[in-house]
Amino acid sequence: MTQTLLLTDALFLRHDPGEEHPESPARLAHILALLEKEPISGTERKVARPATEEELATVHTPRLRAYLKGLRGRHEAVDPDTTTSPDSYDAAVLAAGASVQAVDEVLAGRSRNAFVLARPPGHHAEPDKAMGFCLFNNVAIAAEAARRQGAERVLILDWDVHHGNGTQAAFWTRRDVLYQSVHQYPYYPQTGAPFEVGEGPGAGYTVNCGLPGGSTDADYGAIYRDLFLPVAEAFRPDLVLVSAGFDAYHEDPLADMKLTERGFGAMCTAMRDLAERTCGGRLVLLLEGGYALEGLSRSVHTCVEVLAGKRKDSFPEGVSREAAAALQRSREALKQYWPVLGR
Ramachandran category for residue 32: left, alpha or beta (phi over 0 → left; psi -120 to 50 → alpha): alpha
Q: Is 124 a catalytic residue?
A: yes
C-beta of residue 228 within 8 angstroms of C-beta of residue 157: yes
CA dist 132 and 136 (Å) reads 11
Looking at this protein, which amino acid is placed at residue 149? Q
- Give the Cα-Cα-Cα angle 121, 197, 237 (nearest 5 degrees): 65
CA dist 111 and 105 (Å) reads 6
CA dist 33 and 39 (Å) reads 10
Ramachandran category for residue 228: left, alpha or beta (phi over 0 → left; psi -120 to 50 → alpha): alpha
Host H or E run for residue 112: strand 111-116
Q: Which of 30, 60, 123, 124 is catalytic?
A: 124
User: What's 22's DSSP letter?
Assistant: S
Quick check: bond before 189 cis, omega within 30?
A: yes
C-beta of residue 159 within 8 angstroms of C-beta of residue 267: yes
CA dist 285 and 158 (Å) reads 10
- CB contact set of 87 (below 8 Å; sequence gap of 6+): 11, 14, 15, 16
N- to C-terminal Cα separation, the chain:
40
CA dist 152 and 315 (Å) reads 31
Ramachandran category for residue 178: left, alpha or beta (phi over 0 → left; psi -120 to 50 → alpha): beta
C-beta of residue 84 within 8 angstroms of C-beta of residue 134: no
Which residues are catalytic, by number? 124
